[in-house]
Amino acid sequence: MNAELSRQNGGGEQYDLAIVGAGILGLAHAWRAAERGLRVLVLERRSFGSGASIRNFGMIWPVGQTQAGLWSTAMQSRGLWLELAQKAGIPIHECGSLHLAFRDDEWAVLEEFQAKQGEAFGTALISPGQVHKKTPAANDDGLIGALWSGSEVRVNPRVAVAAVPSFLIDGFDVKFEFSTTVIRVGDGQLEAADGRRWRAKHTIVCSGADFANLFPQTHRQAGLYNCKLQMLRTAQQTKFQIGPHLAGGLTLRHYEAFRSCEALPALCDRVAKETPELDQYGIHVMASQTDEGEVVLGDSHHYGDEIEPFDLAEVESLMLRELHKIIRLPDWTIQQRWHGYYAKSDKKPIVMEQPQPGVTIVNGVGGAGMTLSMGVGEEVINRLLGDKTLGAKLGEMASVG
């Protein structure tokens, strides 16, 4: 339907569910809704989802979550990722992860974590010899041991975000409108910047770091702010597989899972005294590998008003300095550099708001959006279909689970 016609008739095609944003969160909602029989429309401002979701490590990382928090959502998400990958033909690997310890205070945190949570998480402390059986990439020099977790999974985000729309179009007749900026949502209608309109019984807004454009007040009240991360990718490593995702002691400062360890403040104090520049740029280091052999390396964290559009060479040097301490690669040639933004809330682990009837905002998944996306999508769709009025409104085809 052309824009003029759409304007004249006060709205074009009718959908059960419209989704704003074709990042991984929008795609997860689209898949879970389409599987339940809903007629779904996805609107994306770019020619493809090119936000945080294609810029990440591709780590599905349940070990970063807490049991009292989002670990079960992460594990559910992990299962759904495996299902989606199999159905959509996306390469996926149950690679697991290693937190490598080189300092006594890092090992102390890992020992405490293992004693308190090891059984529930299915993790294990392993010796340097065992580490080398899992990865050839761990640096021998000063390695005390590692925390092994088998839950982590690897996908190439660039492949996944491109493959899911085709899978949804072919398998479920989901309608995608790319290069379409939504400027208004309400009263069962969506309007694009070029005047086209659509009708939907419900709309889910997954606008990621662009949260200031639709429902800015609701997003602001939910405590959302942006975080910028710098990333690197090496040349293809020839015949060298790092195996599991790799992280070091600095990462223990970053994820919720380790926050309750009494040994953590000593580690944080030591890092702050020895290497304050790492705190200044929010640096901790991790590595994952693509199927083609490139190793994705990162990252740094700049929040809110600190964010500048310019990437800092110093941040890159510091990340590489810290990475050299924990891993060895045959080829450290950096072939790609980029940055990404994700939205995070200082009030909630995930932002789910209803700014008006018929509209749900889902955002603020922070640095764990790849991990949590499928589980969150499942939960939100279940909730919408479980809501008596809405569930009935969304149509008879949908099965309430």
Q: Which is nearer to ligand FAD, 101 or 206 (CB)?
A: 206
Q: Which of 25, 250, 264, 381 binds ligand FAD (CB under 6 A)?
A: 25
Q: How far is the CB of 369 from ligand FAD (least distance, A)?
A: 2
Residue 44 engages ligand FAD in binding (rule: CB under 6 A): yes
249 near ligand FAD (CB under 6 A): no
Burial pattern 133-153, b for ≥16 Cβ within 10 A else e, equals: ebbebbbeeebbbbbbbebbb
Among positions 16, 299, 353, 378, the unique one binding ligand FAD when judged by CB under 6 A = 299
Which tokens belong to 64?
């970063």
Q: Which stretch binds ligand FAD (CB under 6 A): 9-17, 131-139, 206-214, 215-223?
A: 206-214
d(CA 140, CA 128): 8
244 binds ligand FAD (CB under 6 A): no
Q: Does 189 bind ligand FAD (CB under 6 A)?
A: no
CB of 168 to ligand FAD, least distance (A): 15
181 sits near ligand FAD (criterion: CB under 6 A): yes
Using the contact rule CB under 6 A, the part of the chain among 23-31, 114-122, 134-142, 215-223 near ligand FAD is 23-31
Q: How far is the CB of 185 from ligand FAD (least distance, A)?
A: 9
Q: How many residues does the chain have?
A: 401
Question: Which one of 244, 340, 358, 375 is in contact with ligand FAD (CB under 6 A)?
Answer: 340
Choosing from 18, 19, 22, 297, the residue that interacts with ligand FAD (CB under 6 A) is 22
Size of residue set near ligand FAD by CB under 6 A: 45
Given 11, 12, 26, 96, the residue binding ligand FAD (CB under 6 A): 26
Residue 59 interacting with ligand FAD (CB under 6 A):
yes
20 part of the interface to ligand FAD, by CB under 6 A:
yes
Please write down the HEC assignment for all residues of the chain: CCHHHHHHCCCCCEEEEEEECCCHHHHHHHHHHHHCCCCEEEECCCCCCCCHHHCCCCEECHHHCCCCCCHHHHHHHHHHHHHHHHHHCCCEECCCEEEEECCHHHHHHHHHHHHHHHHHHCCEEECHHHHHHHCCCECCCCCCEEEEECCCEEECHHHHHHHHHHHHHHHHCCEEECCCCEEEEECCEEEECCCCEEEEEEEEECCHHHCCCCCHHHHHHCCEEEEEEEEEEECCCCCCCCCCEEECHHHHHCCHHHCCCCCHHHHHHHHHHHCHHHHHCCCCCEEEECCCCCEEEECCCEEHHHCCCCCCHHHHHHHHHHHHHHECCCCCCEEEEEEEEEEEECCCCCEEEEEECCEEEEECEHHHHHHHHHHHHHHHHHHHHHCHHHHHHCCCCCCCC
Rule CB under 6 A: is residue 375 a binding residue for ligand FAD?
no
If the CB atoms of residues 269 and 314 are measured against ligand FAD, the closer one turns out to be 314
113 binds ligand FAD, rule: CB under 6 A: no
Query: Toward ligand FAD, which CB reaches closer, 83 or 311?
Result: 311
How many whole angstroms separate alpha carbon 194 and alpha carbon 2?
10
Choices 94-102, 200-208, 234-242, 260-268 (CB under 6 A): range interacting with ligand FAD? 200-208
Does 319 contact ligand FAD by CB under 6 A?
no
- Cβ proximity to ligand FAD: between 249 and 377 the closer is 377
What CA–CA distance (Å, rounded) separates 311 from 299? 12
Q: How far is the CB of 77 from ligand FAD (least distance, A)?
A: 9
Select from 12, 355, 367, 375 the one that contacts ligand FAD (CB under 6 A). 367
Selected binder of ligand FAD within 70, 85, 159, 214 (CB under 6 A): 214
Tokens representing residue 25 in the block: 């969160």
Q: Check binding of 137 to ligand FAD (CB under 6 A).
A: no
The residues binding ligand FAD (CB under 6 A) are 20-26, 43-46, 49, 51-53, 55-59, 61, 181-182, 206-210, 213-214, 229, 231, 298-299, 340-342, 363, 365-371
